[in-house]
C-alpha cells in the first residue's frame, strides 16, 4: 500500500468518526472549512520553520567564511611578527657582551662598597656602640646588617672556590669581623634586657617611649627572621653555605626570655615567707599572686599585645605563660605540703584559691576576655590525683 492510499484510508476513517449520524451531514461544509483552516495554519508553521532554518544556515555559512578570513589574517599577521622579531635574536647576541659588562660592573660596585665597609669597619662599630648606648637600636642593627652582608658575600666567594686554603681564609675573615660579632652580642643583650621589661615598659604609653623601643626591638627580630629564612632558602644540595652564627632564631629566643620574665614576676609576687610568725602568710601570698596576674594580663591585653605582630598571638602566649607560672608556684606549695610544711587550714585556703582561679576575681575577670574553664579543662592547675589527695586531707 502506497502513501496516498494510506492517507486516503486514514481520511475515510477520520470522516467516519466525525459523521456517524445522518443529521451530521449538514455540517460537512463547516467541517471542510475547519480542516482547510487547520491545514493552512500547519502549512504556515512549516513555512516559518523552514525559513528560520534556512536563515540559520545562511548565518552559519557567513560566519564560516568570516572565520576563514580571520584565520588567514591572523596567520599573515603572525608571520609578519615573526619576521619583525628576527632582528632581536641578533640583537640579543650583540647585547650579551653589554650584559656581561653590566654584571661585572655590579660586582665591582659591590666589591667597592664592601671594601669601604671593611676600611671604615672600626669607625662604624665605634659609632654603633655609641648609638646603642643612646638607645638607637634600629641604626645599630642597620650598621650590623651592612657589615655582615660584606662579610657574608666575601665568605660565600671563598666557599665557592672550595680551595685548599678555604677554611683558613674563612677563619681570617672571622677574625677580621670579630668586632661585628661582639657588637651583635651587645645588641642582643640590650634586646634581652628590653624584652624582660616589656610589660613594665609599655606602662609608659603616654610618652610612647616604652612602646616605641619595644616596637623597634620587634622590628629587628623580624629582620633577623627574614635573613635567617633567606639563607635557608638559598641552601641547595650543591651549596650548603650558611653564614657564621646563623640561623639566629631570635624570635624563639625572645619568646623564651619573655616566658622566663613572666615566671620571675609570678615568683617575685610572693611575699616574704613568714610562716613561722604569721598564720595568714599563705593567704597573703596567694592574694598577691592573684593581683599581679590580673594586673599583668590586663597590661598584656591592652598594651603589650598591640605592639607585637599579629602572627605572634602574643596575648594568648602571655595567658599561657602566666598559667604555667601559677602551676609551677602551686607545685612548689604541694612539695612543701608533702614535707609537712602546710597546715590543714592552709590546705583549705589553697583549695579555695584554686576553685576561685576561674571566677571573676582572676581569669574570669571580664576585662581579660578569656574562657577560664576551657583553659583549666585543657591544662589543670594541679593533676586530678593531687587534688583528690589534698581534698582527703
- Which pLDDT score, from 0 to 100, does residue 211 have? 82
- Which pLDDT score, from 0 to 100, does residue 219 have? 94
- Which pLDDT score, from 0 to 100, does residue 208 have? 54
Residue 271 DSSP code? P
Residue 272 DSSP code? P
- Which pLDDT score, from 0 to 100, does residue 393 have? 65
Q: Could you report the average pLDDT of every consecutive run of 10 residues in the chain (393 residues)? A: 73 71 68 79 85 87 86 89 80 76 72 75 90 93 91 81 75 85 94 89 60 90 93 78 88 94 80 59 84 89 80 90 90 72 79 88 89 89 82 71
- Which pLDDT score, from 0 to 100, does residue 339 have? 59
User: What 3-state DSSP class applies to 239?
Assistant: strand
- Which pLDDT score, from 0 to 100, does residue 186 have? 95
- Which pLDDT score, from 0 to 100, does residue 209 have? 65
- Which pLDDT score, from 0 to 100, does residue 270 have? 58
- Which pLDDT score, from 0 to 100, does residue 102 have? 75
Domain spans in the chain, listed from the N-terminal domain onward:
3-95, 117-239, 258-392
Amino acid at each position: 500500500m502506497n502513501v496516498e492510499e494510506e492517507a486516503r484510508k486514514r481520511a475515510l476513517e477520520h470522516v467516519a468518526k466525525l459523521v456517524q449520524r445522518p443529521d451530521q451531514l449538514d455540517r460537512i461544509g463547516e467541517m471542510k472549512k475547519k480542516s482547510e483552516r487547520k491545514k493552512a495554519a500547519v502549512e504556515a508553521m512549516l513555512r516559518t520553520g523552514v525559513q528560520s532554518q534556512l536563515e540559520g544556515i545562511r548565518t552559519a555559512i557567513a560566519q564560516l567564511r568570516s572565520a576563514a578570513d580571520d584565520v588567514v589574517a591572523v596567520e599573515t599577521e603572525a608571520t609578519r611578527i615573526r619576521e619583525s622579531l628576527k632582528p632581536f635574536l641578533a640583537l640579543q647576541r650583540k647585547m650579551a657582551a653589554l650584559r656581561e659588562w653590566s654584571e661585572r660592573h655590579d660586582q665591582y660596585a659591590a666589591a667597592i662598597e664592601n671594601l669601604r665597609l671593611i676600611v671604615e669597619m672600626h669607625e662604624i662599630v665605634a659609632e654603633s656602640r655609641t648609638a646603642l648606648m643612646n638607645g638607637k637600636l634600629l641604626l645599630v642593627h642597620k650598621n650590623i646588617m651592612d657589615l655582615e652582608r660584606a662579610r657574608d658575600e666575601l665568605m660565600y666567594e671563598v666557599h665557592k672556590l672550595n680551595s685548599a686554603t678555604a677554611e683558613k681564609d674563612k677563619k681570617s675573615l672571622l677574625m677580621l669581623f670579630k668586632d661585628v660579632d661582639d657588637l651583635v652580642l651587645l645588641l642582643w643583650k640590650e634586646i634581652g634586657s628590653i624584652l624582660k621589661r616589656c610589660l613594665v615598659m609599655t606602662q609608659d604609653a603616654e610618652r610612647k617611649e616604652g612602646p616605641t623601643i619595644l616596637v623597634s626591638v620587634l622590628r629587628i627580630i623580624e629582620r633577623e627572621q627574614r635573613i635567617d629564612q633567606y639563607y635557608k632558602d638559598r641552601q641547595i644540595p650543591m651549596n650548603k653555605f650558611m653564614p657564621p652564627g646563623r640561623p639566629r632564631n631570635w624570635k624563639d629566643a625572645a619568646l623564651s626570655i619573655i616566658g622566663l620574665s613572666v615566671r620571675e614576676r609570678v615568683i617575685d609576687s610572693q611575699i616574704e615567707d613568714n610562716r613561722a610568725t604569721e598564720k595568714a602568710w599563705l593567704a597573703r601570698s596567694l592574694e598577691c599572686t592573684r593581683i599581679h596576674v590580673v594586673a599583668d594580663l590586663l597590661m598584656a591585653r591592652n598594651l603589650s599585645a598591640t605592639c607585637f605582630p599579629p602572627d605572634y598571638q602574643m596575648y594568648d602566649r602571655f595567658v599561657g605563660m602566666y598559667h604555667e607560672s601559677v602551676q609551677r608556684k602551686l607545685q612548689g606549695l604541694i612539695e612543701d605540703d608533702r614535707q609537712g610544711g602546710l597546715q590543714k587550714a592552709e590546705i583549705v585556703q589553697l583549695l579555695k584559691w584554686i576553685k576561685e582561679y576561674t571566677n571573676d576575681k582572676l581569669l574570669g575577670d571580664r576585662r581579660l576576655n578569656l574562657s577560664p574553664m576551657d583553659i583549666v579543662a585543657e591544662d589543670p592547675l594541679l593533676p586530678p590525683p593531687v587534688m583528690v589527695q589534698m581534698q582527703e586531707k
